[in-house]
Amino acid sequence: MDNKNEIFLKQVSDVLQKARNNAKTAVNLAMVYSYYEIGRMIVEEEQRGSERAEYGKYILKELSIYLTKRFGKGFSITNLKQMRQFYQIYEVDQIGQTVSDQFPNLPVTKSGRKFFLSWSHYLKLMRISNVEERHFYEIEAAKNDWSLSELKRQFNSALYERLILSANKDKIKQLAKEGQVIQCTNDAVKDPYVLEFLGLQKLPEYSESELESRIIDQLQTFLLELGTGFTFVGRQVRFTFEEEHFKVDLVFYNRLLRCFVLFDLKIGELKHQDIGQMQMYVHYYDRKVKLEDENSTIGIILCKDKNQAVVEMTLPEDNNQIFASKYQTVLPSKEELQKLLEEQSESAGD
């Protein structure tokens, strides 16, 4: 089979695959809206009963038996309770207009609510009691087309708390209304980065090359951790300056910021020489690699341990290009991050 035939067959296959994916998405969304409507009907029927608690149990039991006979599995009393809870939460739970504008053709409920995700996504979201945090994850999952496993991973890695820790007050409010919006260099940088998916916590020790290899092996998950707009350019990208050869550990490009993002990996304590080296990398890219209409390069030193005082004394006060961020090889405790948030809030109030 020649190359032209292979291309033709692949194109036809892609059309069918896209159609199947669209059909699956449409079916999933139709089920979400139907479950919301079933939840509404259950609530309204229960409210008509004279003894709500007992009548509610009776209604759920009878409805479960009836629907199971007609449609099969999926209508247990537990599932019907979840549909009722779904209606009770989302009847009064609105998210920002920004994400709704991205999906103009979706139907709306009587209260004006749109749904963007699968039923499995909403089962996870309903368990998030903090309304603003729930809004954030719903918006991000819709904007970035997160699978359920990706949503769980971002929640378990406390993405919302980590972004709050590095955001100002205006940005914190924005998270619950628009999700993560990348408009400047600081928006693209996290501290800490969580790399539990690399499996390094099982190793007694590891090298920087091992860290780099694990990241490349898990590149898709690492891109998820980096956030919106990142594309991979290369590893150990070499350049020559003044007859000396240098290599940047990892090079990415952010399409939203329209700039290169360089990563240097350090497993030991961060030293001022490491910061100076990254400054040189960034300057080289700004002067020799980036195009005139592209924005300034960002350099991120990803380290196991950092001394913030060393970072602040090495970098200029108006720095917006070089960043030092810690990485963790285990999932952070949400309780610990909440404590950090409280301490940050108290410091801001002093």
- Domains of the chain from N-terminus onward: 1-92 (no CATH), 98-186 (no CATH), 193-331 (3.40.1350.10)
pLDDT at 308: 79
Q: How many CA atoms lie within 13 A of 203 on its CB side?
A: 12
Q: Cis (ω within 30 of 0) for the bond into 332?
A: no
pLDDT at 205: 83
pLDDT at 216: 95
CA-closest candidate to residue 300, choices 328, 273, 281: 281
* % of residues, the chain, pLDDT over 90: 47
CA-closest candidate to residue 180, choices 92, 98, 106: 98
Residue type for position 232? F
Question: Average model confidence (pLDDT) for the chain?
Answer: 86
pLDDT at 344: 65
3-state SS assignment for residue 156? helix
Mean pLDDT of 188-210: 88
User: Which single residue is written with the structure tokens 């780099």?
Assistant: 212
Residue 230 bridge partners (DSSP): 254
Please report which confidence band the pLDDT of residue 78 belongs to, taking 50, 70 and 90 as the band edges: very high
- Give tens-digit pLDDT for 219-230: 999 999 999 899
- Give tens-digit pLDDT for 33-77: 999 999 988 888 888 765 556 777 788 898 999 999 998 888 999
pLDDT at 119: 94
Q: Which of 12-26, 231-245, 269-283, 319-333 shows the lowest per-residue confidence on average (mean pLDDT)?
A: 12-26
Mean pLDDT of 156-162: 90
12 or 147, which is more confident? Answer: 147
pLDDT at 140: 93
348 or 234, which is more confident? Answer: 234
Mean pLDDT of 282-309: 92
Q: Which of 107-116, 164-173, 262-271, 295-304 shows the lowest per-residue confidence on average (mean pLDDT)?
A: 164-173
Mean pLDDT of 177-202: 87
Please report which confidence band the pLDDT of residue 312 belongs to, taking 50, 70 and 90 as the band edges: confident
β pairing state of 230-241 and 193-194: unpaired
Question: Which residues are CB-contacts of 230 (< 8 A; sequence separation ≥ 6)?
Answer: 223, 252, 253, 254, 255, 261
pLDDT of 154 higher than 60: yes
pTM of the model: 0.80
CA-closest candidate to residue 249, choices 173, 300, 200: 300
pLDDT of 266 higher than 70: yes
Q: Which of 170-179, 234-243, 269-278, 337-346 shows the lowest per-residue confidence on average (mean pLDDT)?
A: 337-346
Q: Please report, in angstroms and rounded to a whole number, the separation of the first and last CA atoms in the chain.
A: 73
* % of residues, the chain, pLDDT over 70: 89
Mean pLDDT of 186-195: 89
pLDDT at 184: 86
